[in-house]
């Protein structure tokens, strides 16, 4: 599949928390300790068959990106 989304981060699903309507999915990125958390619909998580230990690609497309420094 080809996508226009440029920010594609690969990793392993480390947590899937299914709520009543929404699901929280945490993906540990390859090559480090960074974890990306995504909130998606419960229906989407179930349709995708998301499971802990499964390889996944995180797609980030946004019109607003914030940066913070200390």
> Whole-angstrom Cα distance, residue 5 to residue 50?
21
Assign residue 11 the CATH number of its domain.
Answer: 2.40.50.100
pLDDT band at 5 (very low <50, low <70, confident <90, very high): confident
70 belongs to a structural domain: no
68 belongs to a structural domain: no
| Structure tokens that stand for 23 in this block | 């699901």
Which residues contact residue 21 at a Cβ distance below 8 angstroms, ignoring those fewer than 6 apart? 41, 42
Residues 26-63, buried b or exposed e (16+ Cβ, 10 A)? Answer: bbbeeeeeeeeebeeeeeebeeeebeeeeebebeeeee
Residues 4-15 have a mean pLDDT of: 92
Chain segment 22-70, per-residue pLDDT in tens: 999 999 999 989 999 999 999 999 999 999 999 999 998 877 777 788 8
The residue among 68 and 8 whose pLDDT is bigger is 8
Full residue range of the structural domain in which residue 54 is found: 7-60
26 belongs to a structural domain: yes
The residue among 3 and 31 whose pLDDT is bigger is 31
**H/E element holding 43?**
helix 42-48
69 belongs to a structural domain: no
């Amino acid at each position: 599949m080809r996508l226009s989304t440029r920010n594609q981060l690969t990793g392993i699903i480390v947590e899937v928390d299914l709520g009543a309507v929404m699901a929280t999915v945490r993906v540990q990125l390859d090559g480090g300790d960074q974890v990306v958390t995504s909130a998606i619909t419960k229906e989407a998580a179930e349709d995708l068959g998301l499971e802990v230990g499964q390889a996944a690609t995180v797609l980030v497309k946004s019109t607003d990106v914030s940066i913070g420094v200390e």
